[in-house]
Chain A
């Protein structure tokens, strides 16, 4: 019953899988390098959200059934961010106090794994979740009536 918006565009349909992965690899890169170079959870989140929204536009609703629902993604992200913020208070430290570990990973270079990354992951999930869910609901709005 539902129709993908741009089902008829042959070029997009053929090239989109490649574009999808390019966007997401970009997002991953930006996410992990965010602490030291331009990027971070927001930018990566919007990039991934764009890839998913386009996937929806091209493939329709069914392609999104494979990933967790955007709302729960947003909720998990929010919980994660608040969790990282609150966790230090349980250990007697200040609210939002971060701890870090430094790692060296090939390809990505020096990497800082720590609670800032977890916090950023929360932001990432929230941004994806709300962007995709708003676009999705908005497009499907007529089906609820």
Chain B
């Protein structure tokens, strides 16, 4: 396992920890931010799966001879995931707005 992969996996696990910690809060703002961090974490996890990028080039295949490219599939998956993540964030924002409006509280009601 290369340096970069190790660092990124540490970052991703850190995001998971902080994201989970935030999601377990009552306040809607914290939950929203926690979900955002979890999205980042997941994207990074998929990225780590593509292996170490060192010494490889971006997956844009040009005529300039045989090169080693990074795996394009995780990138395509992450691109999809980012956009879907945005859709989810947008929905959650509106959902929490609605929730706060109904309850007149910024906290998720217990029970």
Contacts and interface: CB of A to CB of B under 8 A. Distances in A.
Interface residues of A, number: 12
A38 B60 CA distance: 8
* Main DSSP-derived SS at the B contact region: helix
Interface of A: 36-38, 42, 46, 127, 130-131, 134, 137-138, 141
A100 to B, nearest CB: 16
8 contacts: A36-B60, A37-B60, A38-B58, A38-B60, A130-B87, A131-B90, A134-B90, A138-B94
Contact of B83 (A36, A38, A42, A134): A42
Contacts of B58: 38
A137 B58 CA distance: 39
B97 A138 contact: yes
A127 B58 CA distance: 25
B98 to A, nearest CB: 9
